[in-house]
C-alpha cells in the first residue's frame, strides 16, 4: 500500500493498488475514538486531499481495538458558552460529514465494536456500511440519554435509510443494535465475520451494488398526511417513559420530523438549531454531568489491583443470589452457599432467566450457568479470592458467620459484606484479620442498579479497598468509595425521604398521591412503592440502625405494618395491596396536602441528609454524593444529583425553606450545619 501526501495527527491515509483509499481514524493520545473539533477539522483537510486524488473508493475504519467511533466528544459540550456557539460547532460538523456524502467515489464504513452517536452519523454519510458480526459490535444513537438528539445529519439520513418508524425507534430510545439486527433493519448493508471485513469492503467498492433502499411503507410513513398521525403516536409512546418538562429531547426530534420530514434541506438546518437549543438547556447539561460522573466512577474501577476470578457468596436470598448470578454473567466462577436447598434452587432459576435475557446465544447462557455452583456446605470458601457475605441484616448473626468462615478462607482472600447500613467496626470484632474486611454494598435489583458502595472500615487495609474497587469495576458496576458510617451514603440519605413519606401517609395523604408527587419530581418510583418493593421489614431494620446513631424518628405506622406481617410486595400487603407481584390499582384521591408541599417535604429531607453526609466526609466530595444518589437510587438524573440541584435552586432559598419547615413540623427539618459551607461558597461566587 502506498502511503503518501500529508500526514495527520488523528487520521491515517493509505492508497492501495486498486486506488482505494483506506482512511483509518486513530485519535491521538486517547483510547477511544470520538469526534472532537480538532478531529473534524482534520477530517475536512483529509477530504480535500481525497478529492484531489479521485480514488476508486474510500474506506473509513478505526485504528482502535475498542470500536469504531463513540460519537461526538462529550467533554467538549460543557465548554459551549451559548446556543450560538453550539450552533456553529454543529453546523460545522454537519458540513464536514456532508462532504463525505458528496464524494464522487463509493464510500464504505467498516464497523467493529461500538459505533455510536456522531460515529454512526459519519457511517450514515457513507454510501455503504459493513459491520463485523461480533457481540462487541453495537450501533446506536444514544444522544437522547444526554438530553439532545443527533445533530450531524443523523435524523435526516437515518429516516431516509431505514424509514421513519425504525429510525425514530432508535433515536427515541437511544438503544443499540448488534450487527445482525442492524443488517435486518437495513442500517448496515452487510454483517460479516471480522476476518472478512477488508475483502467485503474491497468487493463492495469494486462492484458498487445498488445501495439498499427502504420499501413502499416507509416512504408512505414520510408523507405530509401520515407524519402528524405517526408523530402523535410517537409522542404518546414517549410520554409513557419520559415527561416533556424533564426530557425535552425526544419531543423535539418528533416535532422536527413532523414539521420538516418532507424537506431534507430544511430538516438539516432545523436539526442543527434544535440540538443547539437543547445542548445548552438544563436537562442536557445535567445529563452530560451525570455521564461524566459515571466516567469518574468507571475510572476508579479500572485502577489498581489484579482482578479476582473466583467468588464465593454466602446467603442465597434475593441479594446474595442476584450478586452471584451477576458475577457469573460477567464471566467469574461463583459458588453460592445457603443451608436451604430450595433457596439455592431458586437462585439458579432466577440466574437462568437473567442469562437467557442477557446472553441471547443459548450456549453462552449454559456456560454462565456452569460457572454458578450451588454450594450447601461452603466448599467454595477455601478457593475464593473474595467471599461475599449477603445474609440478613443482623450484626450478631454476621459475626457468628465470620467466626466460622475466616479459618476456612485463603490467607490472601478478601471478606466482603453486603451490609446496607451496619458500620464495619461492629462486624470486624469477630475477625482475626479485620484488615481483610471490606464492605461491598450492592443495590436491588443488582442487574439494574449500577452502584456498589465500597466501604472502608477503621481497620481495613488500603490493598483490600483497592481489590474490592477493582472487582466492582471488573463486574461492570460503578464503585463508590464510602466511609464506614451507619447507612453509608445511599441508605442514610434515602431513609429520611422514605420516612417523611410514611409520616405524610399517616397524616392522611393518600399513598398514591405522595408517590405521584415524587415521580413528578423525577424519581423513578415513589417512596412508598419503593419501601413496599424493598420490604418494610428491611426498611424498618435500616431505620432502627440509623436511629441508634442519628436523630431518626421511626413512624409508628411503619412499626405497626411490620408487626402485622404487612411487609410490602413480598407479603401481598404494605402501603399498597398486591396480587402475586402485581400491584392492585389504587386511585389517587384528593388528599390534604398539595403536590408541591409533598415534594418539598420529601426532597428537602433528602437534600438535608445529603449535605450532612458531605459535611461528615462519608464520601470525598459533593460530586460523589450526587453520583451515589443518581446511580444508587435513580435520583432524577436530569437534575444532576441532589447537591447540584440544591446549588441550582439556590442554597440560601433551600436553607430558608428548611428553617420554615422546621418551625412547622419540628426538628427533623432543622438545616444541617453543612449548609453553612455551601452558603459561604455560593456567596463567594456572587
Ligand atoms: N466523548 C468523549 N469521550 C468519550 C466518549 C465520547 N463520546 N465516549 C467514551 N469516551 C471516553 C471516556 O470518557 C473514557 O475516557 P478515559 O479513558 O479518559 O476515562 C474512555 O473513552 C473509555 O470510555 P469508557 O466509558 O470508560 O469505556 P467503556 O468500554 O465502558 O464504554 C462506550 C465505551 C463508548 C460504550 C461508552 O463510553 C459510551 O457510551 N460513551 C458515550 C457514547 C455516546 O453517548 N455518544 C453520543 C455522543 S453525542
Q: How far is the CA of 503 from the centre of ligand 1 (A)?
A: 43
Q: How many CB atoms lie within 10 A of CB 395?
A: 15
The whole-angstrom separation of Cα 130 and Cα 500 is 55
Same domain, 501 and 446: no
* Residue-level pLDDT at 593: 46
Domain membership of residue 638 (yes or no) is no
* Cell triple for 284: 442536557
**Number of folded domains that form the chain:** 3
For residue 536, CA distances in Å to 144, 218, 315, 576 come to 35, 50, 20, 12
The CATH number that applies at residue 393 is 3.40.50.720
Domain CATH number, residue 600 = 1.10.1040.50
Nearest CA to ligand 1 atom 1: 73
- Does ligand 1 lie within 6 Å of residue 295's CB atom? yes
Give 263 Cα–ligand 1 centroid separation in angstroms. Answer: 33
Distance (angstroms) between ligand 1 centre and the Cα of 136 equals: 14
Pair (120, 225) in one structural domain: yes
CA of 114 to the centre of ligand 1 (A): 10
Instruction: Tally Cβ neighbours within 10 Å of residue 43.
Output: 23
Are 387 and 414 contacting, i.e. CB atoms less than 8 angstroms apart? yes
Write phi, then psi, for 56 (nearest 5 degrees): -75, -25
Distance 32 CA to ligand 1 centre (A): 7
Q: Which residue is associated with the grid cell 473466583?
A: 310
3-state SS class at 316: coil
The reply to whether 35 and 127 lie within a common domain is yes
Is the backbone peptide bond immediately before 263 cis, with ω within 30 degrees of 0? no
> Can 441 be counted among the known catalytic residues?
yes
> Ligand 1 within 6 A of 74 CB?
yes
Residue 305 in domain: no
Instruction: Give me the CATH number covering residue 240.
Output: 3.90.226.10
- How far, in Å, are 155, 274, 493, 522 from residue 266 at the CA level? 12, 12, 49, 34
Q: Ligand 1: distance of its center to the CA of 290 in Å?
A: 13
Domain span at residue 135?
Answer: 11-280
Distance CA 630, CA 625 (A): 9
Residue 90 class from Cβ within 10 Å (0-12 exposed, 13-18 middle, 19+ buried)?
buried
pLDDT digits 0-9 by tens, 1-30: 545 556 899 999 999 999 999 999 999 999
CA of 68 to the centre of ligand 1 (A): 12
382 and 526 fall within a common domain: no
**Ligand 1 contact, 121 CB (< 6 A):** no
SS3 107: strand
71 lines ligand 1 (CB under 6 A): yes
Contact 110/126 with Cβ under 8 angstroms? Answer: no
On whether both 269 and 396 belong to a single domain, the answer is: no
The burial class, CB within 10 Å (0-12 / 13-18 / 19+), for 667 is exposed
Residue having the nearest C-alpha atom to atom 12 of ligand 1: 295
Q: Which of 122, 119, 123, 133 is nearest to 197 (CA)?
A: 133
The three cell numbers locating residue 497: 425521604
Q: Is 292 in the pocket of ligand 1 (CB under 6 A)?
A: no
Task: Indicate if 441 and 541 belong to the same structural domain.
Answer: no
73 CB near ligand 1 (under 6 Å):
yes
- Inside any domain, residue 508: yes
Residue nearest to atom 42 of ligand 1 (CA): 70
CA distances from 269 to 94, 235, 445 (A): 9, 22, 43
Assess whether the C-beta atom of 290 lies below 6 angstroms from ligand 1. no
Q: Which of 460, 485, 510 is the last residue of a domain?
A: 485
State the cell numbers at 387.
Answer: 467471599
Which atom of ligand 1 is the closest one to the Cα of 298? Answer: 26
**Cell digits of residue 360:** 441471547
Give, to the nearest 10 degrees, the angle between helix 248-260 and helix 164-173: 160
Pair 457, 513 in one domain: no
Residue 120 in contact with ligand 1 by CB distance below 6 A: no
Q: Measure 181 CA to ligand 1 centroid, in angstroms.
A: 23
Q: For ligand 1, is residue 131 a contact (CB within 6 Å)? A: no
**Nearest protein CA to atom 38 of ligand 1, as residue:** 70
For residue 480, the CA-to-ligand 1 centroid distance in Å is: 19
Q: Is 117 in the pocket of ligand 1 (CB under 6 A)?
A: yes
Report pLDDT for 594: 54
pTM of the model: 0.93
Task: Verify that 506 and 480 share a domain, yes or no.
Answer: no
Distances in Å between the Cα of 114 and the Cα atoms of 132, 152, 554 are 11, 18, 49
Enumerate residue ranges in the chain where pLDDT < 70. Answer: 1-6, 304-308, 586-596, 685-686
Q: At what angle do helices 536-547 and 527-534 cross, to 10 degrees?
A: 100
Contact 61, 110 (CB under 8 A): yes
Let me know whether 510 and 479 are in one domain.
Answer: no
Flag whether 301 is in a domain: no
How high is the pLDDT of residue 591? Answer: 47
- With beta carbons less than 8 A apart as the criterion, state whether 124 and 153 touch: yes
CA dist 378 → 32, 88, 409, 484, 496 (Å): 42, 63, 11, 28, 38
Same domain, 319 and 267: no
Instruction: Kindly state if the Cβ of 142 falls inside 6 Å of ligand 1.
Output: yes
CA of residue 642 relative to chain centroid, distance:
17
Ligand 1 neighbourhood includes 302 CB (under 6 angstroms): no
Per-residue DSSP letters for 30-84? -SS--B-HHHHHHHHHHHHHHHHH--SEEEEEES-SSEEE--B-GGGGGG--SHH
Query: Out of 112, 441, 644, 655, which one is annotated catalytic?
Result: 441
**DSSP states of 470-514:** HHHHHTT-EEEEEES-TTTTHHHHHHHHHHHHHHHHHHT--HHHH
Given 485, 517, 541, the domain boundary residue is 485
Q: Which residue has the cell 445529563?
A: 287
Residue 17 DSSP symbol: T
Q: Is 639 inside any structural domain?
A: no
Cβ(78) to ligand 1 under 6 A? no
Residues 6+ positions from 519 with CB-CB distance below 8 Å: 525, 526
* Residue at 42 is within a domain: yes
Q: How far apart are CA 202 and CA 200, in angstroms?
A: 5
∠ Cα 20 22 24 (to 5°): 170
495 in the same domain as 446: no
Q: Which of 29, 32, 287, 330 to mutate to test the pocket of ligand 1 (most atoms within 8 A of CB)?
A: 32
- Give a yes or no: residue 624 inside a domain: no
Nearest CA to ligand 1 atom 19: 299
Q: Which atom of ligand 1 is nearest to the CA of 146?
A: 44
**From ligand 1's centre to the CA of 463, what distance in Å?**
28
**110: closest CA among 92, 95, 126?**
126
Closest protein CA for atom 40 of ligand 1:
70
User: Quick one: which atom of ligand 1 is closest to the CA of 32?
Assistant: 21
Whether 292 is covered by a domain: the verdict is no
To 10 degrees, what angle do helices 622-633 and 642-649 make?
A: 120
Same domain, 388 and 499: no
Domain boundary among 459, 485, 511: 485
Q: Which atom of ligand 1 is nearest to the CA of 476?
A: 30
Angle between helix 651-665 and 642-649 (nearest 10): 100
Residues 550 and 417: their CA atoms lie apart, in Å, by: 22
Amino acid at each position: 500500500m502506498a502511503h503518501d501526501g500529508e500526514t495527520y495527527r488523528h487520521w491515517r491515509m493509505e492508497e492501495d493498488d486498486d486506488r482505494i483509499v483506506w482512511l483509518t481514524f486513530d485519535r491521538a493520545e486517547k483510547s477511544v475514538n470520538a469526534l472532537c473539533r480538532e478531529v473534524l477539522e482534520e477530517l475536512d483537510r483529509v477530504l480535500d486531499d481525497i478529492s484531489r486524488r479521485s480514488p476508486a473508493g474510500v474506506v473509513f475504519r478505526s485504528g482502535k481495538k475498542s470500536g469504531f467511533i463513540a460519537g461526538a466528544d462529550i467533554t467538549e459540550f460543557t465548554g459551549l458558552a451559548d446556543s450560538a456557539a453550539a450552533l456553529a460547532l454543529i453546523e460545522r460538523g454537519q458540513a464536514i460529514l456532508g462532504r463525505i456524502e458528496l464524494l464522487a467515489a463509493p464510500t464504505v464504513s467498516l464497523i467493529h465494536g461500538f459505533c455510536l452517536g456522531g460515529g454512526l452519523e459519519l457511517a450514515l454519510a457513507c454510501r455503504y456500511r459493513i459491520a463485523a458480526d461480533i457481540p462487541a459490535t453495537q450501533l446506536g444513537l444514544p444522544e437522547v440519554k444526554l438530553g439532545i438528539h443527533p445533530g450531524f445529519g443523523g435524523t435526516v439520513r437515518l429516516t431516509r435509510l431505514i424509514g421513519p418508524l425504525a429510525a425514530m425507534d432508535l433515536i427515541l430510545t437511544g438503544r443499540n443494535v448488534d450487527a445482525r439486527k442492524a443488517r435486518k433493519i437495513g442500517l448496515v448493508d452487510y454483517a460479516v465475520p471480522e476476518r472478512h471485513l477488508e475483502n467485503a469492503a474491497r468487493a463492495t467498492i469494486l462492484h458498487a451494488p445498488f445501495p439498499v433502499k427502504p420499501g413502499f411503507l416507509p416512504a408512505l410513513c414520510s408523507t405530509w398526511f401520515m407524519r402528524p398521525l405517526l408523530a402523535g403516536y410517537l409522542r404518546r409512546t414517549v410520554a409513557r417513559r419520559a415527561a416533556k418538562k424533564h426530557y425535552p429531547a425526544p419531543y423535539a426530534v418528533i416535532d422536527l420530523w413532523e414539521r420538516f420530514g418532507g424537506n431534507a434541506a430544511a430538516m438539516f438546518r432545523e436539526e442543527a438549531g434544535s440540538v443547539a437549543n437543547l445542548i445548552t438547556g438544563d436537562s442536557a447539561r445535567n445529563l452530560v454531568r451525570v455521564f461524566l460522573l459515571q466516567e469518574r466512577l468507571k475510572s476508579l474501577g479500572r485502577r489498581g489491583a489484579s482482578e479476582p476470578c473466583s467468588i464465593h457468596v454466602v446467603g442465597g436470598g434475593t441479594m446474595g443470589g442476584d450478586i452471584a448470578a451477576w458475577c457469573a454473567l460477567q464471566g467469574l466462577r461463583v459458588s453460592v452457599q445457603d443451608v436451604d436447598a430450595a433457596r439455592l434452587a431458586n437462585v439458579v432459576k432466577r440466574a437462568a432467566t437473567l442469562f437467557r435475557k442477557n446472553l441471547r446465544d443459548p450456549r453462552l447462557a449454559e456456560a454462565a450457568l456452569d460457572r454458578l455452583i450451588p454450594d450447601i456446605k461452603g466448599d467454595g470458601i477455601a478457593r475464593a479470592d473474595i467471599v461475599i457475605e449477603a445474609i440478613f441484616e443482623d450484626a450478631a448473626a454476621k459475626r457468628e458467620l465470620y467466626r466460622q468462615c475466616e479459618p476456612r478462607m485463603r490467607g490472601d482472600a478478601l471478606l466482603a459484606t453486603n451490609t446496607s447500613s451496619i458500620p464495619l467496626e461492629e462486624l470486624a470484632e469477630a475477625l482475626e484479620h479485620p484488615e481483610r474486611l471490606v464492605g461491598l454494598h450492592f443495590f436491588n435489583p443488582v442487574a439494574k442498579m449500577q452502584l456498589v458502595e465500597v466501604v472502608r472500615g477503621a481497620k481495613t487495609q488500603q490493598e483490600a479497598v483497592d481489590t474490592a474497587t477493582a472487582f466492582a469495576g471488573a463486574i461492570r458496576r460503578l464503585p463508590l468509595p464510602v466511609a464506614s458510617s451507619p447507612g453509608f451514603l445511599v441508605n442514610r440519605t434515602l431513609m429520611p425521604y422514605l420516612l417523611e413519606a410514611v409520616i405524610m401517609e399517616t397524616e392522611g395523604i393518600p399513598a398514591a398521591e405522595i408517590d405521584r408527587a415524587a415521580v413528578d419530581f423525577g424519581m423513578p418510583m415513589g417512596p412508598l412503592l419503593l419501601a413496599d418493593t424493598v420490604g418494610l421489614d428491611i426498611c424498618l431494620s435500616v431505620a432502627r440502625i440509623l436511629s441508634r446513631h442519628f436523630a431518626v424518628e421511626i413512624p409508628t405506622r411503619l412499626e405497626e405494618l411490620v408487626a402485622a406481617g404487612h411487609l410490602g410486595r413480598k407479603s401481598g400487603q404494605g402501603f399498597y395491596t398486591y396480587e402475586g407481584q402485581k400491584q392492585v390499582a389504587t386511585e389517587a384521591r384528593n388528599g390534604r396536602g398539595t403536590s408541591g408541599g409533598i415534594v418539598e417535604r420529601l426532597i428537602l429531607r433528602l437534600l438535608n441528609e445529603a449535605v450532612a453526609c458531605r459535611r461528615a466526609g462519608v464520601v470525598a466530595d459533593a460530586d460523589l454524593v450526587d453520583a451515589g444518589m443518581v446511580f444508587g437510587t435513580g435520583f432524577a438524573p436530569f437534575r444532576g444529583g441532589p447537591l447540584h440541584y440544591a446549588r441550582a435552586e439556590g442554597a440560601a432559598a433551600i436553607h430558608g425553606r428548611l428553617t420554615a419547615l422546621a418551625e412547622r413540623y419540628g426538628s427533623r427539618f432543622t438545616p444541617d450545619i453543612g449548609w453553612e459551607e455551601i452558603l459561604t461558597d455560593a456567596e463567594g461566587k456572587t
